[in-house]
Structure formats: C-alpha cells, structure tokens
Structure 1
Amino acid sequence: MFTNIVGEYMTNNDKKFLKVLNQDENDIKSISKEMNISYLITKILLNRGIKNKKDIEKFLNPTYDDFHDPFLLNDMKLASKRIMEAIELDEKIWIYGDYDVDGVTSTSLLVNFFFQIGIKVQFYIPNRHSEGYGLNKSAIDYIKMQKGNLIITVDCGITSISEADYANEIGIDMIITDHHTPSESLPKAIAVINPSRHDSTYPFKKLAGVGVAFKLVQAVSFEFEIEVDYLSLLPIVAIGTVADIVDLIDENRLIVKKGLDLIKETSNLGIKSLIEVTGL
C-alpha cells in the first residue's frame, strides 16, 4: 500500500530532503468511501499506520469499553487491597504529587475521586524551588507528624528508592503510581504501578502520570462496585494528558477525545473557572 517518495524543500537557502509516505490512490478512495470519511482524513490515518477498518473505527470513535483492564498493571491488585484496608481502618491517606500540570491534575484527580466516595484524604505537592521534584524525606517527616499512614504518589516516586526505604523505617506504607522510566531496582513499596516497568506486560506503555492515576481510580471503583464518574473526572485526566505531550494514541486518544467532549458540561468548579477566564 505504501511507497516511499523523496521530496525537497528550501530553508535558509539550503536544499533539504524530506522523506514522506505516499499511498495508492485507489486504497485511499476505497477506505474513504467504505468508512464515510474524507479523503484527507483517510490519508492522514494511513500515514499514521492506522490501516484497517477496525483500527480506524476505534481511533475515530473510541468508547469507554476500549479502556484496558486496570488490573493488568503490575501490583494494581495489591494497591487496591491496601487502599480498601486503609479505608476500613480509617487510616490517614496522603496523595503526594508533583508541581507540573501532570502532577497537579493527578493529585486533583485522586483527591476528587476519594471525596466522591466519602473518603477525606490529604495531599502534598513539593515546592518547586526549595524541594524540587519527587519525594523527599522532610516531606515524609511532615506527613508522619500529621499521623499519615499511607502515601500514594502520583507522577513521581519510581526512582525514590531511599525515600521509600525511609518511609518504611518510620512506619508509613507507600503506593507508587508513576510513568517515568524506572532504574534497575524498584522502590520497596506496597505497590509500584507503572506501565514502564521493565517487567510490565500492560498493553499500553505511554500513559501520562495522570493516566496511571486514573487506572488506580478505575481499580478502586471496581473494588467498591461503583461506576467511574467520567463526567467530573475525565476532563481532569484529559488536561494532564495533553499537557504532558504524550502520544495521542490508544488510551491517551480515548482519554483526550472523551475528556474534551465532557469539559463542555463538567460540574468541576476549577475547570469551569479556567474556561471562564480563558474565554473558551
């Protein structure tokens, strides 16, 4: 179907060469007609390697059923079990985030979700200038002083081996959710949820941090036997996913497409305020 062609263009008076893909016109026209989509959209999809009818339909019109099972992520069952235990024992749960958009939306997502199911949690976002990125022992000490029992990290923690050891030493359990590349060893936590783990068999590796946090929401919702409130939560996940500049394919495509649609009717006051001040 594809043939490589070489074109040339000019920039700063220097001749450059650009390799592009060209498809058979009959293939484009046939798929365009069969799928009832424009010639241009068809060509773009083919250029992106989305070739057959099933893949095109899934890309253009994803459904919530296209989400992968959250329990396919390593340690997800351990994480949901520990969270349920913390809730039953009325332990203090802390969400430990990051100061960028992915980290803040991840934190917001979990705080909002737990609030919806009647669980009050605390959150900690380190100061960009005085603390820097990721877990630090002073913050863990502070959470201990506040009688915290369980820390759930979002968008950080995958390389915080010494910090996880310290939390263990002072009696705080930790669940790590992250999407960054791990080192050779994983932190010693109750659960380490990351599709980028070297031993991960999860079908999609490119979730943003907020996407990984959302998989935890799905898993805990399953344990509680409740439906995920997509209307209020998915717009938050979509904002963080877009801001983290991850590939908009597979679950990321589903998150962003559905999330942007729901932003128009969300009840989330923060998002409503953002829409108002930006004139959207």
Structure 2
Amino acid sequence: MEKRWVISQEAPAKVVEQLAEQLKVSTTLTSILCQRGICTYEEAKHFFRPSLQDLHDPFLMKDMDRAVNRLNEALHRNEKILVYGDYDVDGTTSVALMYGFLRNYTSNIDFYIPDRYKEGYGVSSQGIEWAAENNFTLIISLDCGIKSADKVALASSLGIDFVICDHHLPDDDVPQAVAVLDPKRVDCPYPYKELSGCGVGFKLLQAFCFQNDIDQAEVYKLLDLLVVSIAADIVPITGENRIMAYFGLEHLNGPQQMRPGLDALKDLADLKGEMDITSIVFGFAPRINAAGRMGDAKNSVRMLLAQTKEEAHKMAGIINESNKERRSQDTSITKEALQMIQEDDFLKTSNSTVLYNENWHKGVIGIVASRCIEHYYRPTIILTHSNGKASGSARSVHGFNVHSAIESCSDLLEQFGGHMYAAGLTLPVENVQAFRERFEKVVANTITAEQKIPQIEIDAPIQLKQITRNFYNIIRQMEPFGPGNMRPVFMSEGVYDTGSMRIVGDTHLKLRLTQDNYHTIDAIGFGLGEYYHDIKDGVPFDVCYTIEENIYRGVITLQLRIKDIRLK
C-alpha cells in the first residue's frame, strides 16, 4: 500500500542551535525536542529528568475538596461504598486502583463492572438498582459517569450519592453528583487535561492522602496500574501522564516484586526483558480487554487485585482463554469482512466501508474495523446484530472525522457517540442499507485525496553516519514513547544494501545498509519482502525508519526498523 511521507516542520534555527549548545547534543535531536514543545533548557531538564514532585496539586481539580470530604464522611460513618468502573482496560485498572486502596480503610466496600452486552457502556440502571438493593450509599464511578445525568438522578432518588471520576468530554448537562471530577469540564481549572480515567481516580486518592496525612508513597505504589491504563487508553504521554508513566514503568521494571496479576500476565504473554509502553499495549491490554469482550470483566479486576501467585495465575489463565477466543473471532471475522469487500465491485472502489453480518461477535467488531483499514485505507464501520438492532463500531483514517460523518446520518440512527477517530452506533436493521449509501455519500464529499493515503510522520532526515551509540542513548532518554511523544522516525536518502540482503520469515527483509560504502548498519523491514527484487544489486533507494537495539547471541547492536521504502 502506498504511503505518504510527511516531514515535520523544522523549529526556528536559533532556538534549536541554542538548545543544542546548552544540552551538548546535535541540532537534529534538539530540533525533535522543539517539535514536541521542549524548547528551553528548563523544559528539557524536566523532560529528561521526570519527578513526582512535578505532579499538579490534585485540589486544583474542580470538586476535589467535595469528593474527598464525601469519601471521608462515608469512611467515618462506615457507609457501604461501591466502586463502579467500565469494562475496558482503563475502567478495570481504575477499579483495581480505587478498590484496592480503599479496602485498607474499610471492609464495607465492593466493586461493580457492567456487563458489556446486557448493560452497555457506562453507568446502568441495573447497576444503580443493584447498589440500592444492597444498601450502598456512595458510588465512586471511574472512567464513566460524565454522560450519566439521568442515572445519577436515579441514584439520588434511591438515597445514593455519586462521586464521578471521568476524563471524557462532558455534555452540557453535567450530572448533579456530589462531586464531578473531570479535567475536561469547561469550568475545571486543572492544568493538565489529558488524564486517563484511572489518572483521575489516582488524583482523588492523592488528595485523600494529603487531607488525611497519609504518606504519598502509599498512593505511588499504584503507578503500575496507572501506566497500564495510560498505555492502553492511548492518551497523550505528555505532561503529568509522562511523569506517571515513567515511574509506573520504573515500578514494573524495578527490583521490587511485580504485582502478582501483572506478573502472571507477563508470563502468559511471554514478554521478555524490560516492560515499555509497547509491551503493555500489545501484551497486557488485549488480554485485560478480552475479559470484557468475551466474558466477565470482573475477572480482570480480580486478577489485578490478586495477592498470591496462585490466585493471580488462575485468573490470568481465565483471561488468557478469553483472549484466545477473541483472537479466533477476530481472525475469522476479519477474513469474512475482507472477502465481502473483495467480492463487491462497489465496495472495492468506494470511499468508505460499511459491513453488516448478524452473526459477527460484537466484542471484536472494533478490532475488525481497524484490521480492514490496514487493507482498505478508508473510514470503516462494522455492524452486527445486538438486542434486535444493528450495532457497530467505526474507525477512521488520519485527519478524517468519522464521528462528524456519522452525525450527518443521525436521522437513520437510534444512538451514536465517540470522537474523531472511533465511534459506536446503533440503528434499526432495516436502515442499514440506507445508512451505508448515505455514509458513503458523506465521506465521498468530505474526504480529501491525501486522507486516503496512509501517512508516515518523519521527524528528521539524517545521514546514516549520524547514527551512533551516543545518538541512540539520547533517544532512549526520551522514553516513554506514545501519543504526543512518539518514537522518532528518521529518513535517509540514497541508501543501498551492501550485498547481504535476504528474505526472512517469508515476507521480511533483512539488510545491511550504507550511504557512502563506509558507514554501515543492519536493518529489518517487516512485511517489506516485496521490495527485494527492486533494490537488490546495490540499487539506491530512500528509507524511513526508527532506531532500535538488536540482541543476537548476547551481542547488542543498533539496527534500523524500516517503516517504508521509496524507490528512486
């Protein structure tokens, strides 16, 4: 598939050169820092040397004082407290964080995760009624609740107070809860707006510790859960998130024993070496998510809270089986979806993909939408039958607002929600064909030619001879990488293979590259075997890549991980 290379705009030369002189590093590296908003020595110092002391005062968040006061009151009166969370990774880590901490101060506490299929996303009437039947008087909701004004009102009518910890955009109708903690509230002065749901819960516990003279070290023990939520929920790894992710990874990789549940998950995922954001995203997150997709999300919380190795491995095993089922469903449904496109002349050339099959598993349709985009790069919606309706997940391509496109078809829908790149929707089955046609028309009229081509963002063009161990070590210090602070991507022009190129694993390229026949470096291009015949025999080409370490028989060397090849 053709890809579009986009080189990041260079920062002002004077700023770049001044910072390079202060840091004693190359202007290439300081240019990358400036592109990320790090343009002064002081900003660089905070970036390269994260400190928990730089976390913001939690009481800067609107309603924090009310939230802590209500929690203290509940603990003092020995009220029954229910910790309520969503069924995804952010929700389940949030529940494990809050419940696991507060159970040290009360035994009158329980947690609740809604059933994905029976109750749907967010706070449910069923959950409120269960809380009332079991005499709970305070609910702390995490990663949900900001759009649940009607459910909060129902709880209030049943004598239940709410403290909401959420990070999603609020509606105009903010719930009438005792406290609504959400940095995205327009009236919230909290300086950092991009916390995960678990992050908001963490700030509540920070404030609780401050107010009750509890050592902050107690809440810092929860950073391992918090970094899992930050990585899995794809929030920006900037500002406070970067600090908390940095120390969360330090916790996971430190000398102290890893939380039994995460340790068991690491074993099952066969993760070797140090944990980073990528290993959490691809190793931990799918397995934790699978519990809610295919079974009971409470199993994820039980695993995260497990206090013994035996209990942790038992729960991790159950979750891993759910993940195996998820992968099986994912693979078979993706195959069916791609076949539907290939066999339909209209779909093969359209600007969007909308597919419906009543037998597809609802738990994996969002994943399938993403898989389809890997083959047909365009806004995609996968629908299946659920509770008498067509229910689906939408995914988008770079720069295209799929939520807005769906909104243009709202008269055909019963409900929808989401954001620019991902959304969910429900509509009558009989409206599917009309929706498909309308959605295609909206996309065709609004998508640009550039948005139809996958984009690779390149931080800087460099010469291969610039890639030294010192250069790489500075890049390593920019970790943890993720949205807002991605691993730097470089481009080098006119490179060629020294004659050692070969195909490995059927589809991958293994090369040794040079530009000047003097400086050489190993490279691997996963899935790029199709270029073998075009670039053999020393034919020059351009390449974009990230830099990584390769360990082979105990020897550590630098290598390029090629993202794309451009023929001359």
Q: Deviations over 1:144-195 (max 9, x none)?
A: 1111110000000001011000000010011011000001121111000100
Partner residue in 2 for 1:232: 221
Gaps of 5+ in 2: 273-568
In 2, Cα distance between equivalents of 1:186 and 1:52: 39
Partner residue in 2 for 1:257: 246
Q: TM-score, normalised by structure 2?
A: 0.45
In 2, Cα distance between equivalents of 1:169 and 1:150: 13
The aligned amino acid for 1:234 is L
Partner residue in 2 for 1:18: 6
In 2, Cα distance between equivalents of 1:277 and 1:230: 28
Q: Please identify, of 125-134 and 30-39, the stretch whose mean Cα deviation from structure 2 is larger.
A: 30-39
Higher RCO (Cα < 8 Å, 6 or more apart)? 1
Residues 37/210 of structure 1: CA separation in 2 closer, same or farther (3 Å cut) = farther
Residues 221/230 of structure 1: CA separation in 2 closer, same or farther (3 Å cut) = closer
In 1, Cα distance between equivalents of 2:176 and 2:12: 54
Q: Deviations over 1:206-241 (max 9, x none)?
A: 111111111001011112211232553001001101
Match of 1:65 among 53, 68, 85: 53
1:271 and 2:262 matched: yes
1:203 and 2:191 matched: yes
The aligned amino acid for 1:251 is E
Once the two structures are TM-superposed, the CA of residue 32 in structure 1 deviates from its matched residue by: 3.3
SS class of match (2:221): helix
CA contact (8 A) 2:224 2:252 kept: yes
In 2, Cα distance between equivalents of 1:75 and 1:275: 38
Partner residue in 2 for 1:99: 87
Residues 117/275 of structure 1: CA separation in 2 closer, same or farther (3 Å cut) = farther
Partner residue in 1 for 2:237: 248
RMSD (CA atoms): 2.0
The aligned amino acid for 1:271 is L
Partner residue in 2 for 1:168: 156
CA contact (8 A) 1:155 1:178 kept: yes
In 2, Cα distance between equivalents of 1:263 and 1:236: 9
In 1, Cα distance between equivalents of 2:125 and 2:202: 26
SS class of match (1:152): strand
CA contact (8 A) 1:63 1:254 kept: yes
Once the two structures are TM-superposed, the CA of residue 247 in structure 1 deviates from its matched residue by: 1.0
Which structure has greater strand proportion? Answer: 2
Residues 230/261 of structure 1: CA separation in 2 closer, same or farther (3 Å cut) = farther
In 2, Cα distance between equivalents of 1:178 and 1:201: 15
In 2, Cα distance between equivalents of 1:161 and 1:194: 14
The aligned amino acid for 1:192 is V
Residues 231/182 of structure 1: CA separation in 2 closer, same or farther (3 Å cut) = closer
Q: In percent, how many aligned pairs have the same letter?
A: 36
Count of residue pairs brought into register by the alignment? 268
Once the two structures are TM-superposed, the CA of residue 275 in structure 1 deviates from its matched residue by: 2.3
Match of 1:122 among 73, 89, 110: 110
CA contact (8 A) 1:194 1:212 kept: yes
1:109 and 2:100 matched: no
Gaps of 5+ in 1: 1-10
In 2, Cα distance between equivalents of 1:209 and 1:28: 36
Partner residue in 1 for 2:438: none
In 2, Cα distance between equivalents of 1:44 and 1:156: 36
CA contact (8 A) 2:206 2:219 kept: no
Partner residue in 2 for 1:55: 43
Residues 33/89 of structure 1: CA separation in 2 closer, same or farther (3 Å cut) = same
Q: Which protein shows a greater Rg?
A: 2
CA contact (8 A) 2:78 2:106 kept: no
